[in-house]
Every structure is written in C-alpha cells, then in structure tokens.
C-alpha cells in the first residue's frame, strides 16, 4: 500500500487516467462481448431448453438437462476419448518438434532446406492433412499398406479398426501440428545463449547432459506454452475426426466436439444437449489450462 506525500498524487492521477483507459479498452471489450461473452451466455441458456423431434420448439427443463447430460454415458465416453486423443498427440507432438528443432539447430551446410521442410506443415490445413493421410492409410491404394509389412494396415486398415482408429487420427494430428511445434522450438533455441553450452562443455558435459540441463530448462517457458496450446487444440479437434473416421468405427473416435456436432446437427437434433456438452467442454479446457499454468509453471525456468 502506498504511503507518504506521493500516494494522493498517484491516486489522483489514476482517477484522471481512468476515462482514457476505459476508452482504449472499449473496442476490445465490445469484440469480446460480441464474439465470446454473448455466445457463451446463449449456450448456457440453450442448455436449459429441450428441443422437439424437429429441433424447433423449445421446452423449458431448467438445470435438469445439465444433470442428465453430466450423468450420461455418452459424455463420459466422449471425455475419455478426448483425453486419450490429447495424451496421444500433445507429448508426442512436443517431443517430435523439439527433436527436429535440435537437429536443425546445428550449423550445417544446407540446413535451411531441412528447416523449410520441417516447418512446411504449418501452412497445411486440417482438411488437406486429413485427406492426404486418408489416402496414405487406405488399405487398397495406400502407400503405407504397400510398403510396410504390417497386417494391421490391411483391410479394413487402421481407420477401420476400433483399437487403432484413434491412434491413426492422432498420427495425422501430430504430423499436421509438427510445423507449429518445430517453429516454436526453433525460436526458443535461438534465444538460448551459446555461452551456456560453452560453459557446459568446459565442465565436461556431453551432448545428452547439455540437452537435459541446458536446453530443456531454457526451453521450459516455450514447452509450457506449447503444451497449453496443443491441449486446447486437442480437446477442440473436429476436422480430422470428421474426414477420417466420421466418429467411428463405432464410437472409437467420438471425441467431445464430434459428439456436440452430432447432437446439434445429426438426426436427433438435440440442440440443448449439445449446448450442455459445449459448456462442459469450456469448463474442462479452462480447468486444464489453469492446472497446467499452476502446476507446470513451478518447473519453468525464466532465465
């Protein structure tokens, strides 16, 4: 708390600058109100109503629908599939991006070409990546089924097997996000002072020790940011699920966003149920982000 002769002057200055600060914040607040706060409030409101068979008439059911959805097996299954999908994609994606960034950080001749190749998927859309891997994994004409001697690639293929479909979709997602993680890790590596590596070499540390005790700690803020972004993206993934598996086979790849889409625009037209699931998705992502920042931030080195 401020004290002394400067405190009243600082308080008066803050009160004088408040109208200007509010005016500068007004455009951003309006955008957030239109594109974030209003859709969120309307989604919560829609969850209180039940639609008829044609998806038109709304019947007030209150918070009972929230309780029913939270107790439903469909929500639990979709959350489990979303969590499994995120666990398959986030650590793998971060590890692959970091490994490629470390390899491409070497001062070798022609390394720029490899950096361009590694980062090229950042310009690839979800639709393009999904269709490309759909052809690659096709059991009849797919290149992988022709080159690799694995029975699991034969008919019905990875995408047609309940135990492998989620793994195949995760592989597509990791590849599609590889450009982002590579660019992120490369930018982080360029900010690590070379003096730290030189000091580690003088102390007798090998390449592996330098990686664990210099590279990883210095990249911890970047790793935290990547983990949060990829986790949010993982729970919001939909395009690759829609194009590759259509939520199947069975419900093997029915992530939460797919379940929301199916309930809102499918044959059942349960708009209220979809709204409740969307609110659950918002809460889950918010809690996971808060936990990541709270728990992982303690291990981050801001040097």
Q: What is the pLDDT of residues 106-133, one digit of tens each?
A: 888 888 898 999 999 998 899 999 999 9
Domain ranges of the chain: 6-60, 72-299
What is the pLDDT, as a whole number, of residue 256? 96
What is the pLDDT, as a whole number, of residue 56? 62
What is the pLDDT, as a whole number, of residue 134? 92
- pLDDT 10s digits, 127-168: 999 999 999 999 888 888 888 888 888 888 899 999 999 999
Instruction: Tell me the CB-side half-sphere exposure of residue 85, using CA atoms within 13 A.
Output: 32
Regions of the chain with pLDDT less than 70: 1-14, 52-57, 303
Positive or negative, the Cα torsion across 3, 6, 8, 13? negative
- Topology of domain 72-299 in CATH is MetI-like fold (1.10.3720)
Two structure tokens written together for 38: 């209003």
- Residue ranges of E strands in the chain: 49-51, 58-60
pTM of the model: 0.88
What is the pLDDT, as a whole number, of residue 1? 43
What is the pLDDT, as a whole number, of residue 17? 78
Rounded Cα–Cα distance for residues 108 and 162 (Å): 44
Rounded Cα–Cα distance for residues 39 and 63 (Å): 19
CB contact at 8 A, 121 and 177:
yes
Two structure tokens written together for 282: 């918002």
Two structure tokens written together for 12: 């008066």
């Amino acid at each position: 708390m401020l004290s002394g002769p400067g405190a009243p002057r600082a308080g008066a200055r803050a009160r004088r600058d408040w109208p200007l600060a509010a005016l500068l914040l007004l455009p951003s607040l309006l955008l957030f109100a239109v594109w974030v706060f209003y859709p969120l409030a309307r989604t919560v409101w829609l969850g209180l109503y039940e639609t008829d068979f044609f998806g038109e008439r709304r019947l007030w059911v209150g918070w009972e629908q929230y309780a029913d959805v939270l107790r439903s097996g469909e929500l639990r299954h979709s959350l489990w599939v979303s969590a499994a999908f995120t666990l398959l994609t986030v650590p793998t994606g971060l590890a692959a991006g970091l490994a490629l960034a470390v390899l491409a950080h070497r001062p070798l001749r022609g390394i720029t070409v490899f950096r361009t190749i590694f980062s090229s998927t950042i310009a690839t859309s979800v639709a393009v990546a999904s269709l490309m891997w759909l052809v690659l994994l096709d059991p009849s004409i797919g290149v992988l089924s022709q080159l690799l001697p694995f029975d699991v690639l034969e008919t019905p293929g990875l995408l047609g097997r309940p135990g492998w479909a989620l793994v195949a979709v995760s592989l597509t997602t990791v590849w599609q996000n590889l450009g982002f993680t590579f660019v992120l890790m490369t930018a982080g590596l360029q900010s690590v002072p070379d003096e730290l590596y030189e000091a580690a070499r003088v102390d007798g540390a090998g390449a592996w020790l330098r990686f664990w005790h210099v590279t990883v700690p210095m990249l911890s803020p970047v790793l935290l940011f990547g983990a949060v972004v990829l986790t949010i993206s993982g729970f919001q993934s939909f395009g690759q699920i829609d194009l590759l598996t259509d939520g199947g086979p069975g419900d093997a790849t029915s992530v939460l966003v797919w379940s929301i889409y199916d309930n809102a625009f499918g044959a059942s037209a349960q708009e209220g149920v979809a709204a409740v699931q969307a609110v659950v998705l918002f809460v889950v992502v918010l809690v996971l982000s808060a936990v990541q920042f709270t728990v992982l931030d303690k291990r981050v080195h801001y040097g």
